[in-house]
Structure 1
Amino acid sequence: MFEARTTRDRIGLHVLAVVLALPFLAPLVVMVSGSFAGRGWSNYEKVFATGVVGTYFRNSLIIAVSTIALVYVVTMLAAFGFAKLRIAGKEVWFWLLLAALTMPEAVLLTPLFVTASTFDLYNEHIAVILPLAALQVPFTVLLARSFFQGIPSELMEAGRVDGASILQVFWRIVMPLTRPIAAAIVVLTLISAWNAYLLPLLMLNDPDRQVVTLLPSFFTSQYTNDQTGVLAAAVITAVPQIIAYLSLQKYFERGLAAGALK
């Protein structure tokens, strides 16, 4: 593993890290500083004065938690099967699954809308949850499969020798070892589900079912363009993701590293 042994090397690495981080930090700094422009904290008060913040947060939480649970269950089972089980043609199925990564969300909006309308799911949270989970699963399976491949097969064989079924091996031996990759899956799925905009905009027409990413729209219309309100709403929307990442940061980084490298 690369290690900076001298003070000069460490300073160089820190400078490089700062330079690489600046393009990502600059928009956040502009967003936060802009949200206080003019009236300061009053910009946040007018966001809460809309009366929909609680409703939108509740709806986003329902969608995010449901999507995370669905993605987690499907990813763990699929990754375990692709990595450790002998399944005929599993590599073909795996690459077909990865092919789904090439499908942009915008291309799928029309068929998803038609499907939701046909099955009477329009204006229901499930019409957003299922597509979000389906779009996230290929990437999370790719990460988790690499992680599962790094778990020694001898542990599974020992469990089988002791009389455990394959489901017992999966639940009692393999799953306790997956906390790092589980944290990575939770954070990545939370970001994707919480930031979803196109699908909720298309599928959820009822104001009582809309989500926090639509909150800034209260401050833009044909005749108004309140940018301080938009930025304040954006900051409020981003807070749960920041809290989740900081809470799971250690496991998230370990999970990404373990999932990216076998």
Structure 2
Amino acid sequence: MFGRIQLSEKITMNVLLLLVAIVWLVPLVYLLGYSLEGDHWGNYQAVLSLKLFPHFLINSFIVSVSVVILLLTVVALAAFGFSKATFPGASSIFAICLIGLMIPPVAMLVPLFQTVKSFHWMNTYMSLIGPEVAMSIPFSLLLARNAFDEIPNELLEAAEMDGANAWGKFVRIILPLAVPVLTTIGILAFLNSWNQYLFPLVFINKETMLTVTMAPKFFINEYTSDYHKVFAALVLITIPIVILYLFGQKYMQRGLTSGAIK
């Protein structure tokens, strides 16, 4: 059992948390301040007046939402199988799936490029959706499987006695109880997809198919660069994900701690 936290310990923890918050806030304050230098709010107006900027937003939204839907579908079904179904080699297959946690996306760039090219996905949404889903599966599957392990098997047995098949147990029992962890996985997938810079840079060369993370490069030329507008673009890119995190924070905290207690 944990004892009562002393006042000195509370003060120490708050001071440490304040220092960590300052470390994270200083770059954000600098980003916002630098984006207002020069033309001030004109920097933001210049970004918003880009002819292709609406296309960037729409492309990012389509890609991010598609990644979330596809990832949640695959991960929820796979986690249900690994957690509640028994079949030969389940542990070995699950361990193989987790190998992806040790491989950085940059190391997979060449084989991903060859795969995307062989499927004729270059300059399409699938060139951004497919690799993003594939690289997100290992960590998402780990979170979901641990959360599904917490759901008592007695609930599934009771549902089976009521005549529910495997699909019925998954839809009526597992999914309602797994909302926190699935919401966490969805939020993380949306954030990662929205902030993705490497895949659009490599797989997309048609301007109308670029995502919002490519907007800053339109203010960087060969000999001159307007970094005030670049920073303004970065601020605008950040706003949607900050709003999403604020609304989904409580679900993320619950989802990330799922499976911590057995």
Please confirm whether the aligned pair reaches a TM-score higher than 0.5, indicating the same fold: yes
| Distance in structure 1 (CA, Å) of the matches to 2:252 and 2:217 | 32
Partner of 2:150: 150
Aligned-pair CA distance for 1:261: 4.6
2:33 aligned partner, one-letter code: S
| Distance in structure 1 (CA, Å) of the matches to 2:189 and 2:208 | 23
Partner of 2:134: 134
Partner of 2:107: 107
Aligned-pair CA distance for 1:33: 1.5
Gaps spanning 5+ residues in structure 2: where?
none
Partner of 1:180: 180
| Distance in structure 2 (CA, Å) of the matches to 1:30 and 1:37 | 11
Aligned-pair CA distance for 1:209: 0.5
Instruction: Please say if residues 80 and 145 of structure 1, whose CA atoms lie closer than 8 Å, have aligned partners that are also in contact.
Output: yes
Partner of 1:66: 66
Aligned-pair CA distance for 1:30: 1.4
Instruction: Please say if residues 184 and 251 of structure 2, whose CA atoms lie closer than 8 Å, have aligned partners that are also in contact.
Output: yes
* CA distances 1:40-99 after superposition (whole Å, capped 9, x unpaired): 211101111222221101000010000001110111111111111112111000110000
In 2 relative to 1, CA 78–116 (structure 1 residues): closer, same or farther, beyond 3 Å?
Answer: same
Normalised by the length of structure 1, the TM-score is 0.95
Q: Secondary structure at the match of 2:240?
A: helix
- In the alignment of these two chains, the number of paired residues is 262
1:79 aligned partner, one-letter code: A
| Distance in structure 2 (CA, Å) of the matches to 1:109 and 1:206 | 19
2:74 aligned partner, one-letter code: V
Q: Secondary structure at the match of 1:37?
A: coil
1:228-243 to 2 correspondences below 5 Å: 228-243=228-243
1:84-99 to 2 correspondences below 5 Å: 84-99=84-99
| Distance in structure 1 (CA, Å) of the matches to 2:2 and 2:23 | 25
Partner of 1:170: 170
Aligned-pair CA distance for 1:7: 3.8
In 2 relative to 1, CA 120–151 (structure 1 residues): closer, same or farther, beyond 3 Å?
Answer: same
In 2 relative to 1, CA 72–6 (structure 1 residues): closer, same or farther, beyond 3 Å?
Answer: same
Instruction: Please say if residues 4 and 10 of structure 1, whose CA atoms lie closer than 8 Å, have aligned partners that are also in contact.
Output: no
| Distance in structure 1 (CA, Å) of the matches to 2:7 and 2:29 | 30
Instruction: Please say if residues 60 and 194 of structure 1, whose CA atoms lie closer than 8 Å, have aligned partners that are also in contact.
Output: yes
Instruction: Please say if residues 181 and 259 of structure 1, whose CA atoms lie closer than 8 Å, have aligned partners that are also in contact.
Output: no
In angstroms, what is the RMSD of aligned CA positions?
1.5
2:56 aligned partner, one-letter code: Y
Aligned-pair CA distance for 1:185: 0.4
Partner of 1:199: 199
Partner of 2:246: 246
| Distance in structure 2 (CA, Å) of the matches to 1:115 and 1:251 | 35
| Distance in structure 2 (CA, Å) of the matches to 1:229 and 1:36 | 9
Partner of 1:50: 50
| Distance in structure 1 (CA, Å) of the matches to 2:94 and 2:209 | 35
1:122 aligned partner, one-letter code: M
Instruction: Please say if residues 146 and 261 of structure 1, whose CA atoms lie closer than 8 Å, have aligned partners that are also in contact.
Output: no
1:159 aligned partner, one-letter code: A
Partner of 2:121: 121
Q: Secondary structure at the match of 1:91?
A: helix
Instruction: Please say if residues 149 and 259 of structure 2, whose CA atoms lie closer than 8 Å, have aligned partners that are also in contact.
Output: no
1:56 aligned partner, one-letter code: F
Aligned-pair CA distance for 1:12: 2.1
Partner of 2:34: 34
Aligned-pair CA distance for 1:160: 0.8
Aligned-pair CA distance for 1:111: 1.9
